[in-house]
Structure 1
Amino acid sequence: MKICVVTPVWGIAGVPLAQRRLALALVARGHQVDFIIGWRDPALTIPDTPGVNVIAWNVSGIRYIIPPLIRYLKTAKPDVVFSAEDHLNGAVLVAAMLARSKAKISGSSRVPPKDSYSNTPFTKGWLRKQTMRLAMRRADALTCVSEDMVTNYRTYFPDGPHVAVHNIIDDTTTRARAAQPVDHPWFTQRDLPLVVAAGTLTGRKNFKMLVAVMGELKRRGRDVRLALFGEGYRRPELEAQIAELDIVDRCWLPGRVDNPLAYFAHADVLALTSYAEGLPNVLVEGMVAGCTPVATDCPTGPREVIEGGGVGYLVAMDDVPAMADAIERALAAPATRAALDRAIASFREEVVIARHFDILGISGP
């Protein structure tokens, strides 16, 4: 089959990385795959994606992606299109209708619906919801990356077709990346317990809570280190907080790195402190790498990933002492490899592809 996988932007973030994994998994099964990127951050290089035809349009803004999508659908004539993020899903569905494409369309939602829609009449979010209600009639499948998100979507689209399909996270490439060596002494010497976290340094990720937790652990006399991977506008604020708490010697903010999973594999705990997620890929990546997960019970995803606290530890958002307690418990009683593998089984490549094809009514590998 000819399959198109679309992402609105290329960046070091959950959606484009997950879409690239999907493209690679489809190529491995013998399909012809185009990977369309609406816009690429000029500071970033798209990594080699063997066997995949990468098409980067450098079109900024969802409404501007519709004309090239129409042209692509008319000329390339894919059998299936996988898109991700609500605004892009809507654009793909509109483009498919205008192009009179016969492709099966599967759109995946990656963030809570309140970020895009509203039930308050005549607001911008409400108008967007009405548009999507019309466009979704063209969809062959609409998926969400967690069961909790499906429930949330029901409050905006009670009769919507949304079902849960996890991202591909556990595959041979991910495991190989986790096995790569690192040279930072914290990760090679392992002389102190080590917590890792990763994500864009924004308010939504709430890394100020994690820094405060490190201060609390120091106050308790616990020698624990933190490596926080990622970049963003909150870096100066976090660096100032680290200095104020006098924990510069136990916090490392390396910015973006090519392969954070290799570092995760040498750490004890993967911490997630977000206020909101769609489904936190980084939490699953940490579990693939062998970290015990400790996460805030934010909407949506963490509770589902770690089985309600059955594998790892859940705490309330913004509860610094509770997060410090959970990290101490995780260090004392880490999750077993068997428990981690059980919890992430639905993120395995073969499981996710089979689920997508079953929903679309497609047979074959």
Structure 2
Amino acid sequence: MINFKKMKICVVTPNFTIAGVPLAQIRFARAFANKGHDVDLIVGYIAPKYNFPDVNNVRLIHLNRQQVRGMLLPLIGYLKKNKPDIVFSAEDHLNTITLFATIFSGSKTKISCSSRVTPFDTYSNILFSKRWILKQLMRMVMPRANVLTCVSKDMVEQYKTVFNSSPHVCVYNIVVDQHSQKKMQEPVDGNWFIDKSEPVIVAAGRLAPWKGFTDLILAIKELTKSRVARLVIFGDGPMRGELQTLIGELELNSVVKLFGYVENPLKYFSRADVFVLSSYVEGLPNVLIEAMMCGCTPVSTDCPTGPREVLQDDKYGYLVPVNDPVAMAAGIEKALESPISKTLLKEAISSFSEDAVINRHFEVLGINSSEANT
């Protein structure tokens, strides 16, 4: 019989918002704690307007540092005092700070750094620009990392281009876990999700230009020429007023709602028919996988990076061109007419489960997963 090796694990994330990276890191910390490990979750800053999710059996350490660079000294102190076996960091700015902290503290801990967005938006070749300086700093400390990961295979190839055949490998985020599946069952408000007299389409994300919500609203206008359906967009951001004006101009107030920020969109996803990702660029869209977990048939732009990888071309959903509302409307109509079966959706998200992701992390770190898991 193999004895379980309990490890001291630290998961680090910068500012907490209702967004992909911090939520993924919270799931990650919970998953390690569920397997019996001693887990610290370090968060740079938690804005007062947000309620931090429940993290039972995880020690939350709030550094109260709004700037990522302000996390350097506290991380050095943490590493010297707590001596974790593994540190998991996410996002390139924080990865750089974490690696510097590890070097300055003299820590021997294993470091795994995950990149979550395309390097073309993070680094630059323009001399002495902020993104160029970050690139030089990362190049300097990169050898200290035991593992460098990306959340999609396409992103790995991008990093190999930016850093001349870098050692990055693909390891997905945890999306499918017990906590999320429980949240799917919570009661909802909103008549559209209760009476379901018409199909409901959902989307979610920051109301910002790169999310493509203007295209989605235009696509719904196109869709109304052939059928009735309702769209609900969850999230807030700088484009809310502009999007609301567009909805009014297109006379879509009766079929499109900007629902704003909600702590638990999963309970709405589980009562919807189709989820649309309208983005121009992504890392690997957790929200797309969450919607598939909830049973939504996915429609996604074929943006870099992630959607084509998740949907396996058109096996698990419908891919449409970026910035093409007419094609998006056609994709939504296909999804409503020919939804993806629950069996196929379950198959599609299996790589994003707790066990699959943790075992993959242990594999690339050279840790025997059978000894590290209960």
Global fold match (TM > 0.5): yes
Tell me if 1:101 matches 2:87: no
State which of 341, 354, 359 in structure 2 corresponds to 1:354: 359
State which of 2, 11, 14 in structure 1 corresponds to 2:8: 2
Contact 1:119–1:156 (Cα < 8 Å) also in 2: no
State which of 19, 26, 49 in structure 2 corresponds to 1:20: 26
For 1:261, the equivalent position in structure 2 comes to: 266
For 1:331, the equivalent position in structure 2 comes to: 336
State which of 295, 302, 312 in structure 2 corresponds to 1:297: 302
The amino acid across from 1:236 in the alignment is: G
Pairwise CA distance, 1:314: 0.6
The amino acid across from 2:301 in the alignment is: T
The amino acid across from 1:167 in the alignment is: N
Contact 2:18–2:263 (Cα < 8 Å) also in 1: no
Tell me if 1:47 matches 2:53: yes
The amino acid across from 2:366 in the alignment is: G
For 1:159, the equivalent position in structure 2 comes to: 165
State which of 75, 81, 86 in structure 1 corresponds to 2:81: 75
**Structure 1: gaps spanning 5 or more residues:** none
Structure 1, residues 103-161: CA drift from partner, whole Å, max 9, x if none? 10001000000111124555443332222112110000110000010011111112311
Helix, strand or coil for the counterpart of 2:313?
helix
State which of 150, 170, 178 in structure 1 corresponds to 2:176: 170
For 2:69, the equivalent position in structure 1 comes to: 63
Structure 1, residues 277-325: CA drift from partner, whole Å, max 9, x if none? 1000000000000001000111110111111121111111110110000
For 1:344 and 1:230, the matched residues in 2 are separated by 23
Contact 2:24–2:175 (Cα < 8 Å) also in 1: yes
Pairwise CA distance, 1:357: 0.8
For 1:225, the equivalent position in structure 2 comes to: 230
Pairwise CA distance, 1:221: 3.6
For 2:275, the equivalent position in structure 1 comes to: 270
Q: How many residues align?
A: 364
For 1:317, the equivalent position in structure 2 comes to: 322
For 2:246, the equivalent position in structure 1 comes to: 241
The amino acid across from 2:307 in the alignment is: P
TM-score normalised according to structure 2 size: 0.95
TM-score normalised according to structure 1 size: 0.98
Contact 1:18–1:168 (Cα < 8 Å) also in 2: yes
For 1:319 and 1:309, the matched residues in 2 are separated by 17
Give the CA RMSD over aligned residues.
Answer: 1.1
Helix, strand or coil for the counterpart of 1:78?
coil
Helix, strand or coil for the counterpart of 1:227?
strand
The amino acid across from 2:171 in the alignment is: V
Helix, strand or coil for the counterpart of 2:289?
helix
The amino acid across from 1:324 in the alignment is: A
